[in-house]
Amino acid sequence: MRFAQLTVAVIAALGLSSAMAADEVVKFTIQGGIAAGKASTRDKIGDDIALYFGSQKTPAVEKKIGEWDSNRTSSRRSQQERCEIAFASAIIALQNRARTEGGNAVINITSGGGESSTSEFTCTSGRAMARVRLKGTVVKLKK
């Protein structure tokens, strides 16, 4: 009986690791993701909440409101399209959070496991789905 359970556990672990091996971490441009989010016919990336990626210089911060994660997926056709739509969706969620909390910007936006870039975002892409995780700080900038 134990041998059978061990065999099933080994087979399950092998199947899981081969499924996970299909995931690939890729990078795409922030501008491509923003463009995809502005071209969307449903929710769109707005211009009312400013976005600052990585170490981009920002105007003076009047009030720091809080830090939030946004984790989104997409199942579009091409890998790039899946990643850009997931990115746009994550940005829209951060902008919505800023609106809800009374902020006018999201700063220090990082992707993946906290990777800071002013030009690229990280996407984990599998055979049929992509995931983008962003983290940013909602603030009220001085005008």
Q: For the residues 89-111, what does the mean pLDDT come to?
A: 97
Give me the pLDDT at residue 42, please.
Answer: 78
Q: Parallel, antiparallel, or unpaired: how do β-strands 130-141 and 105-111 relate? A: antiparallel
Give me the half-sphere count of Cα atoms (radius 13 Å) on the Cβ side of residue 44: 8
Give the separation between CA 94 and CA 97, rounded to whole angstroms.
5
Q: Which residues pair with 102 in a beta bridge?
A: none
Q: How many helices (H) and strands (E) does the chain have?
A: 3, 6
| DSSP one-letter string for 18-34 | HHHHT-EEEEEEHHHHH
Cα–Cα distances (Å) from 29 to 69, 70, 118, 133, 140, in that order, read 20, 18, 9, 15, 26
Query: Angle formed by the axes of helices 30-39 and 79-101, to 10°?
Result: 80
Give me the pLDDT at residue 16, please.
Answer: 46
Among 53-67, 71-85, 99-113, where is mean pLDDT lowest?
71-85
| Secondary structure class of 97 (helix, strand, coil) | helix
What does pTM read for this prediction? 0.82
Tokens encoding 60: 């003076």
Higher pLDDT, 14 or 89: 89
Architecture of domain 24-141: 2-Layer Sandwich (3.30)
Among 28-37, 40-49, 105-114, 118-127, where is mean pLDDT lowest?
40-49
